[in-house]
Homo-oligomer: A and B are copies of this chain.
Amino acid sequence: MGEPTRLKMIAERLNLSESTISRALNNYKDISAETKTVVRKMAEQLDYEPNIHAKRLASGKSETIGYVMPIQSNQVTGQFINKLMAGIAKALGKYGWDLCVIAPQTPDEEIRIFKKIARTRNISGLVITRTLSDDHRFALLKRLGVPFVSHGRSSDSKESAWLDVDNELAFFEMTTHFVKLGHKHIAHIGGPRDYNFARQRKNGWVRGLKSSGIKAPLSYEEMTELTFDGGKEAMQRLLEAEVPPSAVCCISDVVAIGAMQALREKGIRPGQEVSIIGYDGLELGAWLDPPLTTMHQPLKLAGEKLAKMLLNIVESGGLPLNNQELVRASLVRRETANAPLSNWPPIRKDSGKP
Protein backbone atom coordinates (compact mmCIF):
# COMPACT_ATOMS: atom_id res chain seq x y z
CA MET A 1 0.00 0.00 0.00
CA GLY A 2 2.96 2.35 0.37
CA GLU A 3 3.14 5.03 2.98
CA PRO A 4 -0.07 6.81 3.77
CA THR A 5 -0.41 10.43 2.77
CA ARG A 6 0.60 12.98 5.36
CA LEU A 7 -0.10 16.62 5.81
CA LYS A 8 3.49 17.26 4.94
CA MET A 9 3.21 15.77 1.48
CA ILE A 10 0.26 17.90 0.58
CA ALA A 11 2.14 20.91 1.83
CA GLU A 12 5.15 20.14 -0.31
CA ARG A 13 3.16 19.58 -3.46
CA LEU A 14 1.33 22.83 -3.07
CA ASN A 15 4.18 24.85 -1.72
CA LEU A 16 2.22 25.74 1.33
CA SER A 17 2.91 25.18 4.98
CA GLU A 18 1.55 22.29 6.97
CA SER A 19 -0.36 24.63 9.16
CA THR A 20 -2.13 26.12 6.21
CA ILE A 21 -3.12 22.70 4.98
CA SER A 22 -4.41 21.78 8.36
CA ARG A 23 -6.45 24.91 8.67
CA ALA A 24 -7.74 24.66 5.15
CA LEU A 25 -8.98 21.16 5.76
CA ASN A 26 -10.52 22.15 9.02
CA ASN A 27 -12.24 25.07 7.41
CA TYR A 28 -10.63 27.86 9.38
CA LYS A 29 -11.87 31.24 8.38
CA ASP A 30 -8.48 32.84 7.91
CA ILE A 31 -7.76 30.76 4.86
CA SER A 32 -8.94 32.04 1.50
CA ALA A 33 -11.68 30.15 -0.25
CA GLU A 34 -9.34 29.66 -3.15
CA THR A 35 -6.61 27.89 -1.19
CA LYS A 36 -9.20 25.81 0.54
CA THR A 37 -10.48 24.34 -2.68
CA VAL A 38 -6.97 23.74 -3.97
CA VAL A 39 -5.98 21.99 -0.77
CA ARG A 40 -9.09 19.92 -0.64
CA LYS A 41 -8.68 18.81 -4.17
CA MET A 42 -5.12 17.73 -3.55
CA ALA A 43 -6.08 15.95 -0.35
CA GLU A 44 -8.75 14.06 -2.19
CA GLN A 45 -6.38 13.21 -4.97
CA LEU A 46 -3.75 11.89 -2.62
CA ASP A 47 -6.35 9.98 -0.68
CA TYR A 48 -5.43 11.80 2.46
CA GLU A 49 -6.78 10.55 5.75
CA PRO A 50 -5.51 12.27 8.89
CA ASN A 51 -3.68 10.23 11.47
CA ILE A 52 -6.32 10.01 14.04
CA HIS A 53 -4.02 9.57 16.98
CA ALA A 54 -1.96 12.60 16.15
CA LYS A 55 -5.11 14.55 15.66
CA ARG A 56 -6.54 13.48 18.95
CA LEU A 57 -3.32 14.09 20.79
CA ALA A 58 -2.88 17.55 19.40
CA SER A 59 -6.44 18.65 19.75
CA GLY A 60 -7.03 17.00 23.07
CA LYS A 61 -10.29 15.59 21.77
CA SER A 62 -10.92 11.92 21.40
CA GLU A 63 -13.81 11.89 18.94
CA THR A 64 -14.95 8.70 20.54
CA ILE A 65 -18.03 8.01 22.49
CA GLY A 66 -18.64 5.03 24.67
CA TYR A 67 -21.70 2.87 25.03
CA VAL A 68 -22.03 1.19 28.37
CA MET A 69 -23.48 -2.26 27.89
CA PRO A 70 -25.96 -3.24 30.56
CA ILE A 71 -24.19 -5.49 32.96
CA GLN A 72 -26.58 -8.35 33.29
CA SER A 73 -27.03 -8.89 29.61
CA ASN A 74 -28.37 -12.36 30.09
CA GLN A 75 -31.78 -11.30 29.10
CA VAL A 76 -33.48 -11.02 25.79
CA THR A 77 -32.58 -7.39 25.65
CA GLY A 78 -30.76 -8.51 22.58
CA GLN A 79 -32.71 -6.61 20.05
CA PHE A 80 -32.70 -3.66 22.28
CA ILE A 81 -28.99 -3.22 22.56
CA ASN A 82 -28.23 -3.95 18.94
CA LYS A 83 -30.65 -1.61 17.44
CA LEU A 84 -29.66 1.16 19.75
CA MET A 85 -26.01 0.60 19.00
CA ALA A 86 -26.58 0.37 15.30
CA GLY A 87 -28.32 3.73 15.47
CA ILE A 88 -25.56 5.31 17.50
CA ALA A 89 -22.83 3.98 15.25
CA LYS A 90 -24.64 5.14 12.18
CA ALA A 91 -25.05 8.68 13.43
CA LEU A 92 -21.48 8.90 14.68
CA GLY A 93 -20.09 7.50 11.46
CA LYS A 94 -21.24 10.54 9.58
CA TYR A 95 -18.96 12.70 11.65
CA GLY A 96 -16.03 10.32 11.69
CA TRP A 97 -16.48 9.57 15.35
CA ASP A 98 -15.99 6.18 16.85
CA LEU A 99 -18.25 4.11 19.03
CA CYS A 100 -16.50 2.20 21.71
CA VAL A 101 -18.17 -0.58 23.66
CA ILE A 102 -17.69 -0.60 27.37
CA ALA A 103 -18.64 -3.80 29.08
CA PRO A 104 -18.05 -3.61 32.81
CA GLN A 105 -18.43 -6.96 34.48
CA THR A 106 -19.51 -5.59 37.83
CA PRO A 107 -20.91 -2.33 39.18
CA ASP A 108 -17.58 -1.64 40.83
CA GLU A 109 -15.78 -2.00 37.59
CA GLU A 110 -18.24 0.37 36.02
CA ILE A 111 -17.31 3.01 38.54
CA ARG A 112 -13.63 2.42 38.03
CA ILE A 113 -14.06 2.78 34.31
CA PHE A 114 -15.96 6.01 34.67
CA LYS A 115 -13.23 7.43 36.85
CA LYS A 116 -10.61 6.37 34.43
CA ILE A 117 -12.44 8.05 31.59
CA ALA A 118 -12.65 11.20 33.63
CA ARG A 119 -8.93 11.18 34.19
CA THR A 120 -7.72 10.13 30.80
CA ARG A 121 -10.39 11.79 28.70
CA ASN A 122 -9.90 9.08 26.17
CA ILE A 123 -13.61 9.08 25.60
CA SER A 124 -15.53 12.25 24.92
CA GLY A 125 -18.89 11.15 26.13
CA LEU A 126 -21.01 8.25 27.23
CA VAL A 127 -24.37 6.77 26.43
CA ILE A 128 -25.89 4.93 29.34
CA THR A 129 -29.00 2.79 29.33
CA ARG A 130 -31.08 0.82 31.80
CA THR A 131 -31.36 3.75 34.11
CA LEU A 132 -32.49 3.24 37.67
CA SER A 133 -34.81 5.49 39.59
CA ASP A 134 -32.01 6.14 41.94
CA ASP A 135 -29.06 5.89 39.69
CA HIS A 136 -25.71 6.78 41.20
CA ARG A 137 -24.22 7.10 37.76
CA PHE A 138 -25.88 10.41 37.08
CA ALA A 139 -24.30 12.15 40.04
CA LEU A 140 -21.00 10.38 39.52
CA LEU A 141 -20.64 11.34 35.89
CA LYS A 142 -21.71 14.87 36.60
CA ARG A 143 -19.19 15.14 39.38
CA LEU A 144 -16.49 13.69 37.20
CA GLY A 145 -17.38 16.07 34.42
CA VAL A 146 -17.90 13.34 31.87
CA PRO A 147 -20.53 14.33 29.29
CA PHE A 148 -23.25 11.77 28.84
CA VAL A 149 -26.76 11.10 27.67
CA SER A 150 -29.04 8.49 29.06
CA HIS A 151 -31.67 6.38 27.46
CA GLY A 152 -34.24 6.71 30.17
CA ARG A 153 -34.66 9.16 32.98
CA SER A 154 -33.91 8.97 36.66
CA SER A 155 -34.62 10.95 39.76
CA ASP A 156 -31.31 12.63 39.10
CA SER A 157 -31.79 13.44 35.45
CA LYS A 158 -33.47 16.82 35.74
CA GLU A 159 -30.42 18.62 34.50
CA SER A 160 -28.80 16.03 32.33
CA ALA A 161 -29.45 15.01 28.77
CA TRP A 162 -31.80 12.14 28.10
CA LEU A 163 -34.05 10.48 25.61
CA ASP A 164 -36.93 8.59 27.05
CA VAL A 165 -40.14 6.98 26.00
CA ASP A 166 -43.21 8.29 27.67
CA ASN A 167 -43.64 5.10 29.60
CA GLU A 168 -46.41 6.42 31.71
CA LEU A 169 -48.40 7.51 28.71
CA ALA A 170 -47.79 4.17 27.04
CA PHE A 171 -49.18 2.25 29.98
CA PHE A 172 -51.98 4.71 30.38
CA GLU A 173 -52.96 3.98 26.81
CA MET A 174 -52.48 0.29 27.26
CA THR A 175 -54.80 0.33 30.25
CA THR A 176 -57.48 2.43 28.63
CA HIS A 177 -57.28 0.22 25.57
CA PHE A 178 -58.31 -2.64 27.80
CA VAL A 179 -61.07 -0.52 29.24
CA LYS A 180 -62.37 0.27 25.77
CA LEU A 181 -62.45 -3.44 25.03
CA GLY A 182 -64.73 -3.81 28.01
CA HIS A 183 -62.36 -5.05 30.68
CA LYS A 184 -62.97 -4.26 34.32
CA HIS A 185 -60.40 -6.51 35.97
CA ILE A 186 -57.08 -5.15 34.79
CA ALA A 187 -53.87 -6.20 36.50
CA HIS A 188 -50.26 -5.17 36.06
CA ILE A 189 -47.07 -7.16 36.12
CA GLY A 190 -44.35 -4.65 36.82
CA GLY A 191 -40.63 -4.77 37.27
CA PRO A 192 -38.22 -3.98 40.07
CA ARG A 193 -38.83 -0.48 41.36
CA ASP A 194 -35.14 0.14 40.99
CA TYR A 195 -35.72 0.69 37.34
CA ASN A 196 -37.15 4.07 36.65
CA PHE A 197 -39.21 2.84 33.74
CA ALA A 198 -40.79 0.27 36.02
CA ARG A 199 -42.19 3.06 38.18
CA GLN A 200 -43.29 5.09 35.22
CA ARG A 201 -45.13 2.18 33.71
CA LYS A 202 -46.83 1.29 36.92
CA ASN A 203 -47.93 4.89 37.30
CA GLY A 204 -49.40 4.82 33.83
CA TRP A 205 -51.44 1.79 34.72
CA VAL A 206 -52.65 3.40 37.94
CA ARG A 207 -53.60 6.58 36.13
CA GLY A 208 -55.37 4.61 33.41
CA LEU A 209 -57.48 2.82 35.96
CA LYS A 210 -58.25 5.97 37.87
CA SER A 211 -59.31 7.95 34.83
CA SER A 212 -61.67 5.13 33.91
CA GLY A 213 -63.11 4.92 37.36
CA ILE A 214 -61.94 1.37 37.84
CA LYS A 215 -60.57 0.04 41.04
CA ALA A 216 -58.09 -2.74 41.32
CA PRO A 217 -57.36 -4.78 44.44
CA LEU A 218 -53.87 -4.62 45.81
CA SER A 219 -53.21 -8.11 44.56
CA TYR A 220 -53.52 -6.85 40.99
CA GLU A 221 -50.19 -5.16 41.23
CA GLU A 222 -47.51 -7.74 40.68
CA MET A 223 -43.80 -7.19 40.51
CA THR A 224 -41.06 -9.36 39.11
CA GLU A 225 -37.69 -9.67 37.48
CA LEU A 226 -37.63 -8.87 33.80
CA THR A 227 -37.36 -12.47 32.73
CA PHE A 228 -39.52 -15.18 31.27
CA ASP A 229 -39.55 -16.95 34.60
CA GLY A 230 -40.47 -13.82 36.43
CA GLY A 231 -43.45 -13.25 34.17
CA LYS A 232 -44.62 -16.77 34.60
CA GLU A 233 -44.50 -16.72 38.36
CA ALA A 234 -46.18 -13.35 38.58
CA MET A 235 -49.01 -14.57 36.41
CA GLN A 236 -49.41 -17.65 38.56
CA ARG A 237 -49.84 -15.42 41.58
CA LEU A 238 -52.38 -13.27 39.78
CA LEU A 239 -54.45 -16.31 38.95
CA GLU A 240 -54.75 -17.04 42.63
CA ALA A 241 -56.43 -13.73 43.35
CA GLU A 242 -59.93 -13.89 44.71
CA VAL A 243 -61.16 -12.53 41.41
CA PRO A 244 -58.52 -13.26 38.80
CA PRO A 245 -57.96 -10.48 36.27
CA SER A 246 -59.26 -10.63 32.73
CA ALA A 247 -56.53 -8.38 31.39
CA VAL A 248 -52.87 -7.91 32.26
CA CYS A 249 -50.52 -5.06 31.40
CA CYS A 250 -47.03 -6.53 31.26
CA ILE A 251 -43.93 -4.46 31.70
CA SER A 252 -42.15 -6.16 28.83
CA ASP A 253 -42.67 -8.66 26.06
CA VAL A 254 -40.40 -11.10 27.79
CA VAL A 255 -42.47 -10.95 30.92
CA ALA A 256 -45.63 -11.24 28.85
CA ILE A 257 -44.32 -14.38 27.19
CA GLY A 258 -43.66 -15.91 30.58
CA ALA A 259 -47.15 -14.93 31.65
CA MET A 260 -48.67 -16.61 28.61
CA GLN A 261 -46.89 -19.78 29.57
CA ALA A 262 -48.46 -19.68 33.02
CA LEU A 263 -51.89 -19.30 31.47
CA ARG A 264 -51.44 -22.21 29.13
CA GLU A 265 -50.36 -24.46 31.94
CA LYS A 266 -53.68 -23.76 33.64
CA GLY A 267 -55.57 -24.38 30.43
CA ILE A 268 -56.38 -20.70 30.07
CA ARG A 269 -56.13 -19.19 26.60
CA PRO A 270 -54.22 -15.94 26.25
CA GLY A 271 -56.43 -13.42 24.51
CA GLN A 272 -59.59 -15.30 25.50
CA GLU A 273 -60.17 -15.71 29.22
CA VAL A 274 -57.21 -13.50 29.97
CA SER A 275 -55.97 -10.77 27.65
CA ILE A 276 -52.36 -9.68 27.68
CA ILE A 277 -50.39 -6.76 26.33
CA GLY A 278 -46.61 -6.61 26.40
CA TYR A 279 -44.12 -3.88 25.80
CA ASP A 280 -41.08 -3.52 23.55
CA GLY A 281 -42.53 -4.47 20.22
CA LEU A 282 -40.26 -7.42 19.59
CA GLU A 283 -40.88 -8.88 16.14
CA LEU A 284 -40.79 -12.19 17.81
CA GLY A 285 -44.10 -11.53 19.48
CA ALA A 286 -45.83 -11.83 16.14
CA TRP A 287 -44.76 -15.45 15.96
CA LEU A 288 -46.06 -16.66 19.24
CA ASP A 289 -49.25 -18.61 19.58
CA PRO A 290 -51.27 -16.48 19.76
CA PRO A 291 -49.35 -13.44 18.51
CA LEU A 292 -48.65 -10.99 21.29
CA THR A 293 -50.18 -7.54 21.35
CA THR A 294 -47.54 -5.06 22.45
CA MET A 295 -46.27 -1.51 22.33
CA HIS A 296 -43.44 -0.45 20.12
CA GLN A 297 -40.68 2.11 20.36
CA PRO A 298 -38.28 2.91 17.52
CA LEU A 299 -34.89 1.91 18.85
CA LYS A 300 -32.53 2.52 16.00
CA LEU A 301 -33.88 6.02 15.69
CA ALA A 302 -33.43 6.43 19.41
CA GLY A 303 -29.78 5.50 19.00
CA GLU A 304 -29.30 8.11 16.34
CA LYS A 305 -30.95 10.72 18.46
CA LEU A 306 -28.85 9.87 21.46
CA ALA A 307 -25.69 10.16 19.39
CA LYS A 308 -26.72 13.52 18.02
CA MET A 309 -27.50 14.81 21.47
CA LEU A 310 -24.15 13.77 22.76
CA LEU A 311 -22.37 15.30 19.80
CA ASN A 312 -24.27 18.50 20.35
CA ILE A 313 -23.10 18.61 23.94
CA VAL A 314 -19.45 17.73 23.53
CA GLU A 315 -18.88 19.47 20.23
CA SER A 316 -21.17 22.43 20.06
CA GLY A 317 -21.27 23.11 23.74
CA GLY A 318 -24.97 22.39 23.88
CA LEU A 319 -26.53 22.32 27.30
CA PRO A 320 -27.73 19.01 28.64
CA LEU A 321 -30.92 20.78 29.59
CA ASN A 322 -31.61 21.49 25.95
CA ASN A 323 -31.13 17.89 25.06
CA GLN A 324 -34.05 16.15 26.58
CA GLU A 325 -36.63 14.42 24.50
CA LEU A 326 -39.67 12.35 25.17
CA VAL A 327 -40.93 10.04 22.46
CA ARG A 328 -44.13 8.04 22.21
CA ALA A 329 -44.63 4.34 21.98
CA SER A 330 -47.35 2.99 19.73
CA LEU A 331 -49.74 0.10 20.14
CA VAL A 332 -49.17 -2.93 17.94
CA ARG A 333 -52.43 -4.82 17.74
CA ARG A 334 -52.06 -8.56 17.50
CA GLU A 335 -54.15 -11.26 19.11
CA THR A 336 -53.71 -11.38 22.85
CA ALA A 337 -55.91 -8.41 23.67
CA ASN A 338 -59.60 -8.94 23.06
CA ALA A 339 -62.93 -8.23 24.70
CA PRO A 340 -63.50 -10.12 27.93
CA LEU A 341 -65.44 -13.38 28.00
CA SER A 342 -68.75 -13.48 29.84
CA ASN A 343 -67.78 -16.50 31.95
CA TRP A 344 -64.67 -14.87 33.30
CA PRO A 345 -63.51 -14.09 35.90
CA PRO A 346 -64.82 -17.31 37.40
CA ILE A 347 -66.72 -17.27 40.67
CA ARG A 348 -64.43 -18.97 43.11
CA LYS A 349 -65.99 -21.76 45.12
CA ASP A 350 -64.09 -20.62 48.13
CA SER A 351 -65.02 -16.98 47.64
CA GLY A 352 -66.94 -15.28 50.39
CA LYS A 353 -69.95 -14.56 48.21
CA PRO A 354 -73.01 -16.62 48.91
Asked if A37 lies at the interface with its beta carbon under 8 angstroms from chain B, I say: no
Chain A interface, DSSP helix/strand/loop, else mixed: helix
Please measure, in the bound complex, the distance between the C-alpha atom of A64 and the C-alpha atom of B76, giving whole angstroms: 28
Task: Give 14 new A-B contacts, CB below 8 A, not counting A53-B122, A228-B287.
Answer: A1-B144, A53-B53, A53-B57, A57-B57, A69-B89, A73-B82, A76-B79, A78-B78, A81-B82, A90-B105, A228-B283, A260-B287, A284-B284, A288-B288
- Complex: chain B residue closest to A303, CB-CB: B103
- Rounded to whole Å, the gap between the CB of A124 and the closest CB of chain B is 12
Per-residue B-contact encoding for A47-80, CB less than 8 Å = 1, 0 else: 1011111101100001010010100010011111
Chain B nearest CB: distance from A144 CB in Å? 7
Tell whether A274 is near chain B: CB-to-CB under 8 Å.
Answer: no
Q: List 5 A-B contacts (CB under 8 A).
A: A1-B144, A53-B53, A81-B82, A100-B101, A260-B287
Inter-subunit contact B57/A86 (CB<8 Å)? no
Contacting residues, chain B, for A1 (C-beta < 8 A): 118-119, 144-145
Contact A286 B228 (CB under 8 A): yes
- Tell me if A116 is interfacial: C-beta within 8 Å of chain B: yes
Shortest Cβ distance from residue A58 to the other chain B in the assembled complex, whole angstroms: 9
Contacts of A257 in B (CB 8 A): 284, 287
A85 and B103 contacting across the interface, CB-CB below 8 Å:
yes
Within 8 Å of chain B (Cβ to Cβ): is A217?
A: no
A288–B292 alpha-carbon span in the complex (Å): 12
Q: Does A102 contact B (CB under 8 A)?
A: yes
A18 located at the interface, meaning its Cβ lies under 8 Å from any Cβ of chain B in the complex: no
B78 and A81 contact, CB distance less than 8 A: yes
A13 part of interface (Cβ distance < 8 Å): no
Q: How large is the interface on A (under 10, 10 to 19, 20 to 34, 35 or more residues)?
A: 35 or more
Instruction: Kindly state whether residue A99 has any CB partner on chain B within 8 Å.
Output: yes
Nearest 4 A/B pairs, CB to CB: A78-B78, A89-B103, A53-B57, A78-B79
Complex contacts, A119 vs chain B, CB 8 Å: 1, 4, 47, 49
A122-B86 contact in complex given A78-B79, A101-B101, A287-B228, C-beta closer than 8 Å: no
Counting CB contacts under 8 A, is A289 at the interface?
yes
A353 at the B interface (CB under 8 A): no
Which of B64, B82, B102 makes the CB contact (< 8 A) with A78?
A: B82
Q: Which B residues touch A182, using CB under 8 A?
A: none
User: Once bound together, how far apart are the Cα atoms of A98 and B100, in whole Å?
Assistant: 7
- For residue A196, CB closer than 8 A to chain B, the reply is no
